[in-house]
């Protein structure tokens, strides 16, 4: 996939690793416009994360609708065939940039 209008994008300082759980590191927003002058992203945050170099990276964000559908399917599977306690926390969706 590629970044396009209406897609979710992640904004992170160029020298940092994306971290969706920390808005001082990474923020998410929706791409409103792409032109030769830049990319406009709408977000609920009032500022972009700090970047010492002033450079940022733009990554394709998670597809929220697909993630919600996958979560529902996983819930149904877990209810139909319960897993043991040692595997219970291993099922789910991993966010982009998660260190494994």
Task: Provide the CATH topology of domain 1-62.
Answer: SH3 type barrels. (2.30.30)
SS3 letters for the chain?
A: CCCCCCCEEEEEECCCCCCCCCCCCEEEEEEEEEECCEEEEECCCCCCCCCCCCCEEEEECCCHHHHHHHHHHHHHHHHHCCCCCCCHHHCCCCCCCCCC
pLDDT tens, position by position, for the chain (100 residues)? 688 898 889 999 999 998 888 999 999 999 999 999 999 999 999 999 999 999 999 998 876 555 566 777 777 777 765 555 555 566 566 666 666 5
Domain spans of the chain? 1-62, 63-93
Residue 74 region by backbone torsions, left for phi larger than 0, else alpha for psi between -120 and 50, else beta: alpha
């Amino acid at each position: 996939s590629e970044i396009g209008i209406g897609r979710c994008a992640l904004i992170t300082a160029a020298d940092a690793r994306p971290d969706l759980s920390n808005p001082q590191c990474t923020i998410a927003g929706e791409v409103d416009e792409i032109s030769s002058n830049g990319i406009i992203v709408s977000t609920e945050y009032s500022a972009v994360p700090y970047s010492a170099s002033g450079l940022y990276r733009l990554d394709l964000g998670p597809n929220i609708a697909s993630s919600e559908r996958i979560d529902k399917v996983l819930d149904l599977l877990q209810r139909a065939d319960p897993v043991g306690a040692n595997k219970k926390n291993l099922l789910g969706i991993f966010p982009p940039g998660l260190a494994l």
